[in-house]
A and B are shown apart, each in its own frame.
Chain A
Amino acid sequence: MAGTVRIQRTVVVANPPMGLHLRPATAFAKLARGLKCHVTLIHGDRRADGRSAFDLLGLLAPPGTELVLEVEGEDADIAIEPLCDILTCEGDSTDTPSPLR
């Protein structure tokens, strides 16, 4: 088995027009929860647990925000691409108004 890997990558949030909002955040957290590695998103001096959409949303990252994605653990090298893809998705991810309202 390979040793522990730790990868950091700078990512610019896309997901226009809102940025890291409910849908990308929950999708990201869901993916992270299925991984063996630890996923952390860093915005300035704030760190969010990649497995928690709550934590991620608290970073408040509109499009254009520079975040550091840190992945540490067994499948880190495989995990980093799909995680990045969620954050940098260029498609319009505008939600229809929240159906709970």
Chain B
Amino acid sequence: MFGGMEIRRGIAVSPGVAIGPALVLDTEGIFIPIRTVAPEQVDGEVRRLRAALAEASLLAQEKQRTLSAKLGQEIAEIFAAHAGLYEDPKLVRDAETLIRANNYSAEYGVSRAVRAIMKQLESAGISPLATRLQSDFVDLEKQLLSLLQGEGGRPLAAITEPIIVLAHDLTPSETAILDPKTVHAIATESGGVTSHTAILAGALEIPAVVGVGRFLSDISGGDTVIVDGYQGLLILDPDEDTLKRYLDLRRRDRTASGIHQIFHKNISAETRDGVRLHLYGNIEFPSEARHCIDRGADGVGLYRTEFLYVNKSGDPTEEEHYAAYKTVLEEMGPDRPVVIRTLDLGGDKFNGAVGLTHLEKNPFLGLRSVRLCLKNQPMFKTQLRAMLRASIHGDMRIMFPMISTAMELRQCKSILREVQEDLEEAKIPFKSGIQVGTMIEVPSAAIMADVLARQVDFFSIGTNDLVQYTLAADRNNETVADLYNAADPSILRLLGHVIRSANKASIDVNICGEMSGDSMFMQLLLGLGVRQLSVTPRKIPELKRLVRQMSIPDAERVADEALRLETAREVTSYLREQLRRILPDAAD
């Protein structure tokens, strides 16, 4: 924020609006805790600034002395150069002026002074010298901030005021300590719809925008920013009008979601002609089971277990698995099913964990998800064992992800049987007759759905991967992202086939990708024969409201008509129009 409001566009991954001071996280966890101080503290901040500069200079000189003996004059001179920068009259003058004029903290003053120079370099365009100097200044800022913050800096967990976290990307260890009470939004430079940050933000119900591109060098911790998780915008240094508009939006948002929730929690998702839909929640963490109940969910349709595996030096133990599953099952109680999906690691998710150390040329077509589990059976069995043990605490169901062939499914089931036999032998109790299902997210599985249906108790269609694999388009790759479209007629046909196959075999079929939470597709899915949807918990009240406006014969007509269309664009405009007819304010 050096000279006027800037609007940056990224990918909206978690809805909502937040306004607040930025907390800029770098990889070493150094950040600016407070932006301004009381006027009477300004002298103290200037003293802190001078002390930090003097200390940094001394440290650099000390290093120069010790290193010149060891490594020679040449290398040691770099430290002399750094020492010289810390003594620079302009740096101290600029920082001090900023602090005195605005009651800034020493940290914020230093950061603004350094970043003003970096901005100047940036405006001259990209060159080797500019790049080099930028990184020198980043180091300098880091060094000063870490000295100002004393030993080890202040821990992120100690944040108490509401902030907006800005980062290049969030590491699992950073995300793990984010508290929705204080972290009101997240914006990152990198990442896509399925990135770690996106999943986490959605799970914690924190508005988030990812894939914004470079912006961190244009901002200092403490600057006011707006994150618009509906439109995927990050607004730096908002002007007054914009600020006012977003304050209004935030206020309306809060009221609306409150009303939604109260109205729709205790009514069922029934069509006008009395057909009951089951709405389940997708969750990531045990604590989210509560969100499902609060939103009136019929159960958990997708419990992702990947988080047990990240942020750890080794694989999770059986007890860690068990404790997490037991918590969710007990929270949901005996009448609400919980579908636990076995490890779905790989592709873009958490590469590097679980021994995925080798680089694959094409990770999305590589060793991921259930393929990884079948190759690493001890790890797979540990998870299955914990699931079975936890099964006595509720209505647990097991689901295998990314099945591509009937053979894979057979292998998974036979491993599950082995684990059951082990438990029987050890006289460890588990429920008998546990339902077992498979994700349908690979086109080969969708095509073979009639065969797979004979092997399982339920299907869950993962539309995100199904769309990506069917259209061979990565939606995070902007050059081909327009091909990625759930409204593509090929997807509609595949869905039709999978749903018919499931209904014919009298097994349940559920949709758990993002398509299921998109109100535009609701009538189509109903019309194709879907009676279960699994969505992020906060979508449930809205979907209930929608279902109650629909009727099965109308939905079937919509589905028939949509299946006759030839392009994604035609399907989209047709479905929008149909939605508008039943709910004028629903389609945008």
Q: Do B128 and A23 touch (CB < 8 A)?
A: no
Residues of B within 8 A of A19 (CB): 129
Q: Which of A19, A49, A100 has the most CB of B within 10 A?
A: A100
A22→B81 CA distance, assembly (Å): 7
A60→B132 CA distance, assembly (Å): 11
The answer, yes or no, to whether A82 is at the interface (CB within 8 Å) is no
Q: Which of B136-144, B313-321, B564-572 contacts A (4 or more CB under 8 A)?
A: B136-144
A25→B80 CA distance, assembly (Å): 12
Q: Do A26 and B81 touch (CB < 8 A)?
A: yes
The answer, yes or no, to whether B90 is at the interface (CB within 8 Å) is yes
Q: How many A-B contacts if CB must be within 8 Å?
A: 84
The answer, yes or no, to whether B354 is at the interface (CB within 8 Å) is no
The answer, yes or no, to whether A18 is at the interface (CB within 8 Å) is yes
User: Which residue of A has the minimal Cβ distance to B63?
Assistant: A99
Query: How near does chain B come to A62, taking the closest CB pair, in angstroms?
Result: 5
Residues of B within 8 A of A67 (CB): none
Assuming the contacts A21-B133, A23-B81, A100-B143, asked whether A53 and B88 have C-beta atoms less than 8 A apart, the reply is yes
Assuming the contacts A18-B128, A19-B129, A22-B136, asked whether A52 and B78 have C-beta atoms less than 8 A apart, the reply is no
The answer, yes or no, to whether A4 is at the interface (CB within 8 Å) is no
Residues of A within 8 A of B133 (CB): 21-22, 57, 60
A22, A61, A95: the one within 8 Å of B85 (CB)? A22
A96→B22 CA distance, assembly (Å): 34
Q: Do B81 and A62 touch (CB < 8 A)?
A: no
Query: How near does chain A come to B49, taking the closest CB pair, in angstroms?
Result: 15
Residues of B within 8 A of A100 (CB): 82, 139-140, 142-143
| Per-residue interface assignment for chain A, residues 9 to 40, with 1 indicating a CB less than 8 Å from any chain B CB and 0 otherwise | 00000000111111101110110010000000
Residues of B within 8 A of A95 (CB): 78
Residues of A within 8 A of B130 (CB): 60
The answer, yes or no, to whether B363 is at the interface (CB within 8 Å) is no
A55→B85 CA distance, assembly (Å): 11
Q: Which of B79, B117, B133 has the most CB of A within 10 A?
A: B133
A55→B121 CA distance, assembly (Å): 11
The answer, yes or no, to whether B89 is at the interface (CB within 8 Å) is yes
Q: Do B139 and A21 touch (CB < 8 A)?
A: no
Residues of A within 8 A of B81 (CB): 22-23, 25-27, 53
Query: How near does chain A come to B88, taking the closest CB pair, in angstroms?
Result: 5
Q: Do A53 and B79 touch (CB < 8 A)?
A: no
Assuming the contacts A49-B90, A58-B121, asked whether A26 and B132 have C-beta atoms less than 8 A apart, the reply is no
A22→B139 CA distance, assembly (Å): 12
Q: Do B90 and A98 touch (CB < 8 A)?
A: no
A21, A51, A98, A99: the one within 8 Å of B129 (CB)? A21
* Size bin of chain B's contact surface: 20 to 34
A49→B79 CA distance, assembly (Å): 22
Residues of A within 8 A of B77 (CB): 23
Assuming the contacts A21-B129, A98-B136, asked whether A54 and B91 have C-beta atoms less than 8 A apart, the reply is yes
Q: Do A52 and B136 touch (CB < 8 A)?
A: no
A14→B177 CA distance, assembly (Å): 50
A55→B88 CA distance, assembly (Å): 9
A21, A29, A61: the one within 8 Å of B88 (CB)? A29
The answer, yes or no, to whether B506 is at the interface (CB within 8 Å) is no
A23, A55, A61: the one within 8 Å of B90 (CB)? A55
Residues of B within 8 A of A52 (CB): 88-91
B84, B94, B127, B140: the one within 8 Å of A60 (CB)? B127
Assuming the contacts A26-B80, A26-B84, A53-B84, asked whether A18 and B117 have C-beta atoms less than 8 A apart, the reply is no
Residues of A within 8 A of B84 (CB): 26-27, 29-30, 53
The answer, yes or no, to whether B176 is at the interface (CB within 8 Å) is no
Q: Which of B79, B90, B121 has the most CB of A within 10 A?
A: B90
The answer, yes or no, to whether B428 is at the interface (CB within 8 Å) is no
Q: Do B129 and A60 touch (CB < 8 A)?
A: yes
Residues of A within 8 A of B80 (CB): 26
Query: How near does chain B come to A49, taking the closest CB pair, in angstroms?
Result: 6
Query: How near does chain A come to B208, taking the closest CB pair, in angstroms?
Result: 29
Query: How near does chain A come to B393, taking the closest CB pair, in angstroms?
Result: 50
Residues of B within 8 A of A25 (CB): 81
Q: Do A54 and B129 touch (CB < 8 A)?
A: no
Query: What 3 A-B pairs come out closest when comparing CB atoms?
Result: A26-B84, A52-B90, A100-B139
Q: Write 30 A-B pairs (CB below 8 A) sorted by A numbering.
A: A17-B128, A19-B129, A21-B133, A22-B82, A22-B85, A22-B133, A23-B78, A26-B84, A27-B84, A49-B89, A49-B90, A51-B90, A52-B88, A52-B91, A53-B84, A53-B85, A54-B85, A54-B94, A57-B121, A60-B121, A60-B127, A60-B130, A60-B133, A95-B78, A96-B78, A99-B63, A99-B78, A99-B79, A99-B82, A100-B140
Q: A51-B90, A60-B130 are in contact. List 16 more A-B contacts (CB 8 A).
A: A26-B80, A26-B81, A27-B84, A29-B84, A49-B90, A53-B81, A54-B85, A55-B90, A57-B133, A58-B120, A62-B128, A95-B78, A96-B78, A98-B136, A98-B139, A99-B78
